[in-house]
Amino acid sequence: MKTKGLIVMAMGLLVLSACTKKDDKAKGQQEELPMVKVETVYDEDVKQESEYTATVEAFKTNNISSNNGARIKRLLVDVGSHVRAGQSVVVLDDVNIATQQAAMDQQRIQIANQKRDLERMKELVKIGGGTQQSVDQMQAAYDAQVRALESSQRQLRTMQENTVLTSPVSGVVTMKNYDAGDLPAGPILVIEQQQPLKVVVNVNESDFPKVKVGMGVDVRLDTYGDEVFPGRVHIIHPTIDPNNRTFQVEVTIANGGNRVHTGMFARVNFNFGTTHNVVVSDRAIQKQTGSGLRYVYVYHNGTVEFREVKLGRRMENRYEIVSGLTPGTQVVTEGQSRLTNGAKVEVTE
């Protein structure tokens, strides 16, 4: 009887111990709720700006070349020279011109002789001493020689134009490839128009509807720090590059004082106005693995909810939210690693 009582007591102790462990486990689970920090989001005016980098280029670039095969007699400018449109820059050897003029003198003599013989034949026909066929043949030969002289005159004018080469634009000589006495086989000089200059910007496809010809932009050059050089959209290329989803925009920059030079690194800022949207800390934004989806955890009454969002502009450590959140919503900014949709959490300061 005594042994039976001991057995009952032992079983009671075991039951009591098991209940205690269950209570301790439940209490531990309750204490292990994920700890998170939250913030309330608000809406505000957001500047719609996009900044792109580019390199300053000449508005126009002209290669000064010759196609008459003559040697360079004299160069009238050097690298760095400022030239006007129409200014003479290169003089070529005129030996070919002298040869052409001598050949034309012989053509004129032949034409004079042919004309005299033609007039004589016409007189002979009148008195019955020749035939009309002979007149026609001599007239055809005379006309052919006149046309040949006209062709030679055009060639001479071309040679004269190519003997003294002029600049088609006002600008700066940026390259000299040959010297006096050389027989050029390519561009002799390169002249760049630098009033104005331009930058060619690769703009994101999403900004295509917003960019307009004539709109103003701010251009900053690393050489001059934060100084702003006003620019203006000059040309919008109508095609999108399928490889990088961008299109080209040509922006002109006034170059008063010749302070800006080709090759400078430029930052071009497009201002598209403002919008009124929710703004949230970048610490709240999460990216779904394996996709471009962005989301946040919304906090409400002790639980969190998965919420997909569409991002707009980034402003230092904040993001504009285009869709997915409304003002006054609370979002998790710390502790997301242990969260799942619908999880209960504890908020900490």
**Same structural domain, 244 and 296:** no
Does 131 score more than 50 pLDDT? yes
Position 20 in a domain: no
Domain boundary among 141, 176, 211: 176
Residue 89 clears pLDDT 50, i.e. is over it = yes
Is the domain of 91 the same as that of 122?
yes
pLDDT of residue 296: 96
Q: In this structure, are 266 and 291 located in the same domain?
A: no
Question: What is residue 334's predicted lDDT score, i.e. its pLDDT?
Answer: 94
Within this chain, do residues 288 and 337 fall inside the same structural domain, yes or no? yes
> What would the two tokens of residue 230 be?
């006003």
**pLDDT given at position 211:** 95
The CB density around residue 261, as the number of other CB atoms within 10 Å, is: 16
Question: Do 153 and 70 reside in the same domain of the chain?
Answer: yes
Q: What is the mean pLDDT of residues 203-227?
A: 94
Residue 300 located in a structural domain? yes
pLDDT at 209: 94
- What is the model's pLDDT at position 30? 53
Cα–Cα dist 148/265, whole Å: 56
Domain containing 250 — which CATH number? 2.40.30.170
Q: Pseudo-torsion of CA 281, 283, 288, 294, nearest 10°? A: 10
User: What are the pLDDT digits (tens) for 291-327?
Assistant: 889 999 999 999 999 999 999 888 889 999 999 999 9
pLDDT confidence tier of residue 197, bands split at 50, 70 and 90: very high
Reply yes or no on whether the pLDDT at 2 is more than 60: no
| Residue 9, domain member (yes or no) | no
164: in domain: yes
- Final residue in a domain of this structure, among 237, 271, 305: 271
Q: Are residues 72 and 158 in the same domain?
A: yes
Is residue 72 included in any domain, yes or no? yes
CATH code of the domain in which 335 resides: 2.40.420.20
Residue 154 tokens read as 């055009």
Which pairs with CB-CB distance under 8 Å and at least 24 residues apart come from 66-70?
A: 66/90, 66/92, 66/162, 66/165, 66/184, 66/188, 67/162, 68/92, 68/96, 68/158, 68/159, 68/162, 68/163, 69/96, 69/183, 70/94, 70/95, 70/96, 70/162, 70/163, 70/183
Q: Are 211 and 123 in the same domain?
A: no
> Does residue 253 fall inside a structural domain?
yes
In this predicted structure, what is the pLDDT of residue 9? 52
What domain range is 171 assigned to?
Answer: 66-176
Q: Are residues 223 and 301 in the same domain?
A: no
Check whether 44 has a pLDDT greater than 80.
yes
> How far is Cα 148 from Cα 62, in angstroms, rounded to an integer?
34
Based on the fold, state whether residues 101 and 130 are members of the same structural domain. Answer: yes
312 within a domain of the structure (yes/no): yes
Q: Does residue 284 contact residue 331 with C-beta atoms inside 8 Å?
A: yes
Averaged over 67-94, what is the pLDDT?
Answer: 91
Q: pTM for the full model?
A: 0.63
Distance separating alpha carbons of residues 322 and 273, to the nearest angstrom: 15
Separation of alpha carbons 46 and 319, rounded Å: 10
Residues 71 and 152 placed together within one structural domain of the fold: yes
The residue that leads in pLDDT, 188 or 3, is 188
Does any domain span residue 16?
no
**Whole-number percent of the chain with pLDDT over 90:** 68
Give the residue from 125, 141, 176 where a domain finishes.
Answer: 176
Number of domains making up the chain: 3
pLDDT bracket for residue 42 (50, 70, 90): very high
3-state secondary structure the chain: CHHHHHHHHHHHHHHHHHHHHHHHHHHHHHHCCCEEEEEECEEEEEEEEEEEEEEEEEEEEEEECCCCCCCEEEECCCCCCEECCCCEEEEECCHHHHHHHHHHHHHHHHHHHHHHHHHHHHHHHHCCCCCHHHHHHHHHHHHHHHHHHHHHHHHHHHHHHHHEEECCCCEEEEEECCCCCCCCCCCCEEEEEEEEEEEEEEEEHHHCCCCCCCCEEEEEEHHHCCCEEEEEEEEECCCCECCCCEEEEEEEECCHHHCCCCCCEEEEEEEEEEEEEEEEEHHHCEECCCCCCEEEEEEECCEEEEEEEEEEEEECCEEEEEECCCCCCEEEEECHHHCCCCCECEECC
68 versus 91: the higher-pLDDT residue is 91
337 and 265 fall within a common domain: no
Mean pLDDT of 269-283: 93
Alpha-carbon span 182 to 74, nearest angstrom: 10
pLDDT at 114 over 80: yes
Same domain, yes or no, for 71 and 167? yes
